[in-house]
Structure 1
Amino acid sequence: MTSDVDRMLPSTVPVMLIGPDGRPTSAGPLPPAEDLLRGYASMVTARRFNEQASALVRQGRLAVYPSSFGQEACQVAAAQVLTDVDWLFPTYRDTAAVAVRGVDPVEALVLLKGDWHSGYDPYERRVAPLTTPLATQLPHAVGVAHAARLRGEPTVVLALCGDGATSEGDFHEALNFAAVFRAPVVFLVQNNRYAISVPLSRQTAAPSLAHKGVGYGVPGEQVDGNDLAALLDVLSGAVARARSGGGPQLVEAHTYRMQAHTNADDATRYRSDDEVARWVARDPLTRLETYLRAQGVLDDGRAAGIAADAEEVARRTRDGINQDVEPDPEDLFRHVYSRPTPQLVEQLAMVRDELARDEAAGTPDRQEAAR
């Protein structure tokens, strides 16, 4: 007889529907071909987006970029399983997921350029701001899910995090609160094996990160994070259970970041070329492409069209980031509260006065320079 605890435990091996060689496994039926083709197109765009963003760093247009190169299947699946009423809570590495969700790719990157705030309106696409501190977005995600449940709304929140985030207190607090109050939230842990340079073995002794859920009463599952078909299957099931009142769900996706943590990181200091090569052979993009071509769903003409669309996204991203924006000091005060506090009003007046004094003092110099 299966106990409640047994039902919470993940599979002994990660769920995989399409193997690294592009052939279907016998683990179960695959998602519809149109869903996989849509996901493939998004993955091609996400890969090109990662390449373009990394190039913008080298050109000095972005200060830093945490690439999700190699994790595109996780990024795409996270956005694709959600409906318009749902929320996505990303980390700093999830700009591709944010773009797939419908946020303008330029707006998804301006935070990394140094522009004001998060660069986009979270309410427009129901995408929370990109979060740099590890796991701090998880309690926020649970709060949004809990509020939606109290209002009787059908909203599900999908919260992304990495393996390093599972070592943070916010992760444990979020799972505990979500379980107690049965918040409709899905936690997707993208386990890419490293928290910058700290390997997974130095973070946990659990059989898997998905096993951590049972201690809080949260069902867990682990999935091959480089298999889009398996991700869509597992995540759509988790979202459906959360939406129907099943409470929070924990999904661990086994994946790998093929590039360094950021452009400021030297990954060769803590991982070998052989290790990277083994994961390159499990590339989520080539895996799905191989399957789709074998099924006759994808041919050269359609692949060329998808690549052209991805190139257009890269061009628009490049052109948008390359535009210089004149900062407005008053933005420091406009977006703090919907109704400014007396202190902010006073501080704004002080800044306006100081800017006016600087303008008056600088006028003769500018006139002289103009002559």
Structure 2
Amino acid sequence: MYDALLARSCEKKIVTAVLSVGIAALVTALPLPVAAQVPSLKAGCPAIGLQQGMVNTTSELQTFSADHFSYQMELASAFSARTANQSTTYCMLYEAENFSAKTGSLPNNGRVDIFYWDVVDWSIEKLESGSSYRQSLYQTDDGKQVPSIQSTTVYAFKNSSFAVNAYKAAALKRSKSLISTLVALKANEIQTPSSPADMESVVAQGEPTALAEAPITPVGAVWASGDAELSVATVVHPNLPSGTIEILVEKGKGSQFKQVLIPYARALATAKETSSIPALIGEFRNSPIDFSGGDMTSYASVAEIDVKSMNTSLYPIKQPVVLTLPTGGRTCFLAATFSPVPMPRELQTCNPRIVFGIGD
């Protein structure tokens, strides 16, 4: 149960670690790099500030009601194609802004306390009204098909929802139980696999797919709002003597966050055996990462792998990243990465029932 896992939150200091995949090996601690070189995930992507009429862009201003009050939000989406090594990938951009009037007629100056957009599995807590609080999210997509416009659902507060058209990445797959309603899951209903038998059961239910060959990287996500930015990139180096998976996190210059939670990255760098990664995610769920470097903006998680080994498989997954902003609100978004073990869908979500404990 997650509630049991959360009670054992780890307080260890962050280090970069080397993990041998496919064998039970002790973790070797290494010093963090002075400044991790995070590959640009925004190169060739749409520019922030989406408006209707731009190429491959949707933008809708929607009005909805909650507790007898009327609110407005703008939701926008866009994509662009990027070609590298004769392969085409897509860069997705999603934006959300609260347009509710700042008047005394709305509680908390029109603040939207809970926001969840199913197309991108993105949650925002305490989204204030105004352009300075607009949030943008870049995500990489390795789908082989061009993204298409589909009807998506936005959930607001605890009991409101409305439809909005947006571009959807062709490769995006989500468990129906996660996106049907906000009341579908609670944190204490989720069980984390603790044995190979449990993992086999999860594999059968979640139907994860291992990669047939080394992936094209970097992959990940970039979140931005105002002057703040956070990049979470994964790079796979299959051609080194042993190969590595690197998860590189970087704050934009001047960005201020109360804390940043990335449980999977910490679990990957800490696990002594790959089978323990899912359980460690629960332990690190409330343990923030420590940034390093001269400007304290970088964090790196490195796992040693053997991509060419017959005993090693890489599974494409989405890792939740939770930011606590200076305003006290939280944002959760997903960043593409890779895992040496299949991962339960319930550990790859930003459903506010799970990450924020809403409604518990």
TM-score bracket for this pair, using the shorter chain length: under 0.3
* Structure with the bigger percentage of helix: 1
TM-score when scaled to structure 1? 0.27
* CA radius of gyration, larger in: 1
TM-score when scaled to structure 2? 0.27
